[in-house]
Amino acid sequence: MSSLRIGPRSFRILCRITLATLVLNVVTGAAVRLSDSGLGCPDWPTCSKTHLTPPLRFHALIEFGNRMVVVVLVVACATTVIAAFLRRPVRRDLRWLSLGLVLGVLAEAVIGALVVYSKLNAYVVATHFLVGMALVAAGVELVLRADHMGGRGTPIVNRVAIRLARVLVTLTIVILAAGSATTGAGPHAGGKGAKRIPIALEEMTRIHAEIVLTTGAVLLVLLWVLWRSNAPSRVQDAGRTLLVVMVVQGIIGYTQFFTHLPAVLVGFHVLGATVVWSTVLWFQHGLSDHEPEIERGERPPDPAGRSEQPARTPAEAVQGASEGWRIRDPVR
């Protein structure tokens, strides 16, 4: 094991695969709830007390399929931890983040069991979703950090923009919590007889929408601050990208409400929530400049844009000098 080494490039690829699996875990979990397959497998970790695998029935296959995604996720996170310890150069921050992913996935598995044994209690289901989104956040942070050297980086925007970005991240977390509560009050319980959150769906939807509108207003103010302070163009472009993503998510949200929450649209809204959350974290991370990490064997980019010849060995230099001397002295 001591002879094994993982380079930064290979580790980045592994982190992106793990992040994709984390998103898939959230989406397939939503599919279980939206298809009323929450009790398709009444036992855990086996599908039933007498069978490990599910019977060939729709709800059982959907529920067990989500469990198989969790198994793949555990393997991906465990592989990421091993790779983080084999990575060179050594990065302690990446090791801690990858270990956090494993612990989070194990917590998700335990909460998933509680979801089954509580007969789809809405509060437990909401906790399951929020822990999944916390794992997505850790996965995004791992991918972003793996792209550069360690450390916080150097801020490239003013303090007002940084503070507004922190407010934006906080409000996004509140949006996710309100969205899970809205789902808990809605008709998609995951199965018959599941306990719901005792609040009117229209009231919870209004609260959720007001928080979203407040977050959108904060983002608009932040974009104005970035424009007025002449922030780097890449930061302003990232902010505009976030605005577009939030608008699209808002359109899906209002459409699903006024069309009486069709399961397909709700599923797209859950996927959109992971995209919005990831984009917010990406935007906030980009407010600081980080030194790129160069893998062994790569040449760092020349800031002046010059194309330099690779350094020659002493023998090559002597040979080149002698060849040049012979060309200049044809008599010899």
Percent of the chain as helix, strand, coil, to the nearest 5: 70, 0, 30
Looking at residue 262, the DSSP 8-state letter turns out to be -
- Rounded to 10°, the helix 201-228/159-185 angle is 160
What is the model's pTM? 0.83
pLDDT at 225: 96
55 prior amide bond cis, ω within 30: no
Q: What single-letter amino acid sits at 57?
A: R
pLDDT at 30: 87
pLDDT at 151: 76
Whether 179 contacts 205, CB under 8 Å: no
Q: What is the mean pLDDT of the chain?
A: 84
pLDDT at 321: 41
List pLDDT tens digits, range 237-248: 999 999 999 999
Say which residues have a Cβ less than 8 Å from residue 161's Cβ, sequence separation at least 6. Answer: 222, 225, 226, 229, 231, 287
